Chains A and B, each alone.
Chain A
């Protein structure tokens, strides 16, 4: 379980998140909405452990451990992974090598890449000249290889074309064990019990909801989170009343 309690975060001396409470249980996927600059990416980076996002109050725990000040790579080892909005380019490091690094052992990189239409990119330097949509698939591929227990997705569907949107959506659903069209052979209850993966997805459009059966949704506005609600309802509310109204009406 991921548990965030009354978190306050600063960047460069400026408060960007405050009074953040969040609880994601095993098997649950949450969706995060919010206007540009509201602090969504910052929240994900803070959970991942980026040191420039300074936690000045509150606490983050994962799997029962206090990880508030744990270094990034230890969080990764503990089972937290992220798909970035804007990852850096690493010259000379082939995407193929990176996928192997994420897997921490033997895997069939090509086979995995095929699942997100990415086999043609394996011999390119990581993120070098990748288009917006290609970056998303590269990030997803790395997460597939890493297969962490808590997955943070920063706008996984933005910039992705219609055909690849389906690929991205289905892959995320599979990773999070949140397939909207589950295995017919298994009873729903059993599927729910087997489901352990946790997800936190940032989305502006909500397209991802067509593929991933998300459990809860929240709006981040001005560095603060609204109460939990059904993600579809939130999306409708935002469409009708705008972010600000929506935060108020839910609260």
Chain B
């Protein structure tokens, strides 16, 4: 196969890789916050169940969760597996990453000094206002480094979608490598991931910098 045709095919796959990446971030970042708030609920049942779900999501392989979300409906309810696998893939990734982001948010929230809540209470801020205006902005700053780690991992983890044969870049690279008995597609895939991650790290560093205008 011509080198450029291979690149073209892999670029098509790269679009899908990007789709997984951005959609997962879009859903998992807010979902993680909801999970955090549920896990801190005063209702013991709610927080207990939420913590259990988090531990399952973090304690089992993402690969397994991908297979469960993609093929589970077929085995359980005989719903045929749709050919468009983007939806189950994004659902599995979003839920899994939400669990990780939830833990990051939780540790960030718990690192906030209690004096911030007390000063806000005395000034008459309501609980939601205290959280949105005073706690959350500082939490975001505090968790940015660990969130960056998680996002960099996500770039690499998108390749796990090959387990359900979703046609993202790694899956396509693997197919070409098999049919051509060539190692080149893997090298190309590696370069793509590396460049993508370099870009992600660069952007995150800029964001971190833009938020470090004050001393904590």
Do A and B originate from a single complex? no
